[in-house]
Copies of this chain bind each other. A is one copy, B any other.
């Protein structure tokens, strides 16, 4: 079977059937995850979903969290949120000069994360 070529020829943008095949997931599942707010693929003027490589990677992570870690959707949402905060923290550390300032920043973010799950 020959490869399909899509009109615009753009790289790294997939319609839902292609994305689903790449990820070995059901198209309906991808739509559900969008409704849940986990991804937001761009749309064509005709409302066709276009998944970027970043969308694909994010979906691959979600799939892993569901299949291997065993999280439900609430867990996915929580993990994605915590991960974002921790990654931001990690980045911001490089631009901090003072030791005390750094400790303050770390405590701030960790406090946020722990409060977000009801600890502290």
Chain A residues with a Cβ under 8 A of chain B: 61, 64-65, 68-75, 78-79, 82-83, 86-87, 89-90, 93, 97-99, 102-103, 106-107, 110, 113-114, 117-119
Q: What are 17 contact pairs spanning A and B, CB under 8 A?
A: A69-B74, A69-B117, A69-B118, A70-B74, A71-B78, A75-B75, A83-B117, A86-B113, A87-B114, A89-B106, A89-B110, A90-B106, A90-B110, A93-B106, A98-B99, A99-B99, A102-B102
Please give the count of copies of this chain that the complex contains: 2
Known: A118-B68, A119-B83. A107 touches B78 (CB 8 A): no
Q: A78 to B69, Cβ gap below 8 A?
A: yes
B-chain residues with CB within 8 Å of residue A90 when the two chains form the complex: 106-107, 110
B-chain residues with CB within 8 Å of residue A73 when the two chains form the complex: 70
Give the distance in Å from the alpha carbon of A110 to the alpha carbon of B109 in the complex. Answer: 12
